[in-house]
Chains A and B, each alone.
Chain A
Amino acid sequence: MLYNLPFVAVVVLTIIGLATIVLKRNLIKIFLGITILESAVNLFLVSLGYREGGIAPIYTNAPDRLMVLPTPQALTLTSIVIGVATTALLLSFAIVIWKKYGSIEIGFLRRLKE
């Protein structure tokens, strides 16, 4: 049970993230929802590679013990970097919307329909 706790957290975070994206009307909050979803996926990747009692996978002078998997950590790092770029771009969109419309409620994003 304790071993599965990270995966339970992944599910909870995913639900919170998706609910935020769908239910909130404020652009910043929607973008926060995306960030939460991103954290859920990152947590999922890291917990996949975790081995109970494992040490960091550095081979130089390593004691002969179980190691955690390095690949998911590399994936997570890449994914975090991509996430930063994504968030930055989304927030810059929010800035432009605020400047042009004077609001970041998605109720105001209706001009495309006209």
Chain B
Amino acid sequence: MIPPFVIENSPALMVIVPFVAAFIAPFSGRVAPALRALVVGGAMAITSAITLLLASDVYAHGTRLYVFGAQAATLAVPPDSGGIPVRIMFTVDPMSALMLVITAISAFAVVLYSLTSERHHSGLGSYYTLFLLMVTGILGMVSTGDIFNFFVFLEILSIASAGLIAFRIDGGVAVEAAIKYFVLSTIGALAILFAIGIYYGEYNALNMALIAQRMQFTLLDQLALVLIIAALAMKCGAVPMHFWTPDAYSMAPSSITALLVVASQASLYGLFRTVFSLYNIALNAACVGWLIIILGVLSMVVGVTMAIPQKNVKRLMAYHAISQTGYMLLGVGVGLAVLGNQPLLDAFGYMAMEGGIFHIINHAMYKGLLFLTAGAIFFRIGTYDLNKMGGLGHSMKWTMIFFIIGALAIAGIPPFNGFASKLMIYESVFAFNPVLSVIAMVVSILTLASFVKVFHSIFMGPVLPEYKDVREVPRPMLAGMGILALVVILFGIFPSLVVETLVAPAAHALADQGMYIAAVIGGGV
């Protein structure tokens, strides 16, 4: 049914399709806006389909290599190269596949949503160009096996994101947010490039698997590790480098914010990939693990306490996003702290990592959903100010239902997906260090409290006179939110199925450095 050409070249196609469509979109908009909608929607549907196809293939048959410019797509080490992978390649292992699934679902839902929500705005040609470039950047970042290529996709993502954050200039305020984001992310990207230079100087290699194989963990490697951790922790919005997050998330159009969440997760993926696949047990796992745990706990606590007094609903959600990122860092950090100690890893380390990774996919879904509902409310009433809202539950019933689903999921209430991953984190972290687990639970309660307040002030109460003509948002926007809500519910009802099929292979692929190296260099360590 599906031509073998597509399956064989899916890693390249999933990046090429949105990339080419990005530059067709503005021209097709000149002909007719409907044609542009068709091009963008069609390209995104194809991209998502190819991405999901690739992910399912990886889950079924193991790590996929795609070597650009080689005679065969899987020929990582040509016979005349002296055992060195010389070409740029994509290495799609189960962890990458998980990120691909997240991106495919979220980006598709966001496109459905924004085709309607942005319909009345100007400059849509460039909007969709940047949007598709963002998708390209994320997909490339999570699947590349070449560290310089990672940097290039990271920059594509940063530039496109910055353009979109500033997209609605909004009297200059959105541009302020974009400047903040872009200055920080450029400095971060330069730090990563410096680290890449260090690796190249030391190991004469840019391929991640080859660097991992040759890793000595000298002083220079420690410097490179610090640069990369600092840069990527900043890009994923962990405290104390979180300042850009609330500004950027609140000023970007809501549909873009939902994708920015996925972009942050892609940076988080880069962080985990570096720590686990590049260094693994070569580094002082307990020390770096605790560093990540501390970053996580700080993010959780600071994020939620800053969220509570916010008046702007998107700023509030952005601070919650910081707080939720903390859970992922905590879960995976605990896994890292016991890396190399097999009994402990089996006892709770894998479970903590699975919890953290499961939380990545859950967070992308429910946080995307929440930002989209905030956008839907803005679409109808034109404000994000909580004090000016009220009584919308009478007219926007579906939006309210989606908001409830998202809010309960983020607070970790069963039967939604946030509960499933948080429970795994609580249990495993409790075995590691009970205090951390207690902090995580308290943060979760505060999250619930905060969202009860938000729910009350947006939807409850009598119909306000100024909003008595408010109607439900159009169907395509509801469909976009519906996709994410459906995933939230399904993941919440069948968590063990998702963990077994999607998350556990990803966690094991991340922890097992030897497998990653062997997949590329063949024959092994």
Contact present for A97 and B190 (CB under 8 Å): no
| A31 nearest CB neighbor, chain B only | B183
Q: Which of B158-192 contact A (CB under 8 A)?
A: 159, 162-163, 166, 169, 171-173, 175-179, 182-183, 186-187, 190
| A78 nearest CB neighbor, chain B only | B152
Contact present for A97 and B148 (CB under 8 Å): no
In the complex, which residues of chain B have a beta carbon less than 8 angstroms from the beta carbon of A86?
155, 159, 182, 186
Contact present for A48 and B201 (CB under 8 Å): yes
Contact present for A112 and B152 (CB under 8 Å): no
- Interface size of B by Cβ–Cβ distance < 8 Å? 30
Assess whether A26 is interfacial by the CB under 8 Å rule. no
Assess whether B514 is interfacial by the CB under 8 Å rule. no
Interface residues on A, range: 20 to 34
| B155 nearest CB neighbor, chain A only | A82
Closest beta carbon of chain B to A24's beta carbon, Å: 12
In the complex, which residues of chain B have a beta carbon less than 8 angstroms from the beta carbon of A93?
162, 166, 175, 178-179, 182
| B206 nearest CB neighbor, chain A only | A71
Task: Specify which of B159, B187, B247 is in contact with A112 (CB 8 Å cutoff).
Answer: B247
Can you list 16 contacts pairing A with B, beta carbon distance less than 8 Å? A21-B187, A27-B179, A37-B190, A44-B194, A45-B193, A48-B197, A71-B206, A72-B200, A75-B148, A86-B155, A93-B162, A93-B175, A93-B182, A97-B176, A99-B172, A111-B172
Assess whether A41 is interfacial by the CB under 8 Å rule. yes
Contact present for B169 and A96 (CB under 8 Å): yes
The answer to whether residues A30 and B183 also contact, given A82-B155, A86-B159 and a CB cut-off of 8 A, is yes
In the complex, which residues of chain B have a beta carbon less than 8 angstroms from the beta carbon of A90?
179, 182-183, 186
Contact present for B194 and A41 (CB under 8 Å): yes
Contact present for B183 and A96 (CB under 8 Å): no
Contact present for B187 and A37 (CB under 8 Å): yes
Contact present for B159 and A89 (CB under 8 Å): yes
In the complex, which residues of chain B have a beta carbon less than 8 angstroms from the beta carbon of A34?
183, 186-187, 190
Closest beta carbon of chain A to B235's beta carbon, Å: 15
In the complex, which residues of chain B have a beta carbon less than 8 angstroms from the beta carbon of A105?
none
* A112–B314 CA distance with the chains assembled, in angstroms: 13
* A97–B183 CA distance with the chains assembled, in angstroms: 15
In the complex, which residues of chain A have a beta carbon less than 8 angstroms from the beta carbon of B197?
41, 44-45, 48, 72, 75
The answer to whether residues A96 and B166 also contact, given A48-B201, A111-B172 and a CB cut-off of 8 A, is yes
Task: Specify which of A75, A85, A89, A111 is in contact with B176 (CB 8 Å cutoff).
Answer: A111
Assess whether A109 is interfacial by the CB under 8 Å rule. yes
Closest beta carbon of chain B to A83's beta carbon, Å: 9
Assess whether A100 is interfacial by the CB under 8 Å rule. yes
* A34–B61 CA distance with the chains assembled, in angstroms: 45
The answer to whether residues A100 and B183 also contact, given A44-B197, A112-B247 and a CB cut-off of 8 A, is no
| A94 nearest CB neighbor, chain B only | B179
| A72 nearest CB neighbor, chain B only | B200
Closest beta carbon of chain A to B208's beta carbon, Å: 15
Contact present for B171 and A100 (CB under 8 Å): yes
The answer to whether residues A89 and B162 also contact, given A48-B200, A96-B175 and a CB cut-off of 8 A, is yes
Closest beta carbon of chain A to B36's beta carbon, Å: 23
Closest beta carbon of chain B to A57's beta carbon, Å: 14
Besides the known contacts A85-B155, A96-B172, A100-B171, 18 further A-B residue pairs in the complex with CB atoms under 8 A apart: A34-B183, A44-B197, A45-B200, A48-B197, A82-B152, A86-B159, A89-B162, A89-B182, A90-B183, A93-B162, A93-B166, A97-B176, A97-B179, A99-B172, A100-B175, A111-B176, A112-B176, A112-B177
Closest beta carbon of chain B to A76's beta carbon, Å: 10
The answer to whether residues A89 and B187 also contact, given A41-B193, A97-B179 and a CB cut-off of 8 A, is no
Assess whether A3 is interfacial by the CB under 8 Å rule. no
Closest beta carbon of chain B to A95's beta carbon, Å: 9
Contact present for A85 and B159 (CB under 8 Å): yes
Closest beta carbon of chain B to A87's beta carbon, Å: 9
In the complex, which residues of chain B have a beta carbon less than 8 angstroms from the beta carbon of A109?
176, 179
In the complex, which residues of chain A have a beta carbon less than 8 angstroms from the beta carbon of B196?
75
Interface string of A42-71 (1 = CB under 8 A from B): 001100100000000000000000000001
Contact present for A100 and B172 (CB under 8 Å): yes
| A49 nearest CB neighbor, chain B only | B200
The answer to whether residues A101 and B172 also contact, given A41-B193, A41-B194 and a CB cut-off of 8 A, is yes
In the complex, which residues of chain A have a beta carbon less than 8 angstroms from the beta carbon of B177?
112
The answer to whether residues A112 and B162 also contact, given A41-B190, A78-B152, A86-B186 and a CB cut-off of 8 A, is no
**Lowest 4 CB-CB distances: which A-B pairs, in order?**
A100-B172, A48-B201, A96-B175, A82-B155
Q: Which of B445-496 contact A (CB under 8 A)?
A: none
In the complex, which residues of chain A have a beta carbon less than 8 angstroms from the beta carbon of B162?
89, 93
Closest beta carbon of chain B to A111's beta carbon, Å: 5
| B162 nearest CB neighbor, chain A only | A89
Closest beta carbon of chain A to B140's beta carbon, Å: 14
* A75–B196 CA distance with the chains assembled, in angstroms: 10
* A37–B179 CA distance with the chains assembled, in angstroms: 17
In the complex, which residues of chain B have a beta carbon less than 8 angstroms from the beta carbon of A75?
148, 196-197, 200
| B177 nearest CB neighbor, chain A only | A112
- Max count, chain A CB within 10 A of own CB: residue among B162, B163, B178, B201: B201
* A75–B147 CA distance with the chains assembled, in angstroms: 11
Contact present for A97 and B163 (CB under 8 Å): no
* A89–B163 CA distance with the chains assembled, in angstroms: 8
Contact present for A79 and B163 (CB under 8 Å): no
* A100–B169 CA distance with the chains assembled, in angstroms: 9
Closest beta carbon of chain B to A88's beta carbon, Å: 9
| B158 nearest CB neighbor, chain A only | A86
| B251 nearest CB neighbor, chain A only | A112
Closest beta carbon of chain A to B252's beta carbon, Å: 13
Closest beta carbon of chain B to A10's beta carbon, Å: 9
Closest beta carbon of chain A to B158's beta carbon, Å: 8
Q: Which of B283-307 contact A (CB under 8 A)?
A: none
- Max count, chain A CB within 10 A of own CB: residue among B179, B187, B206, B251: B179
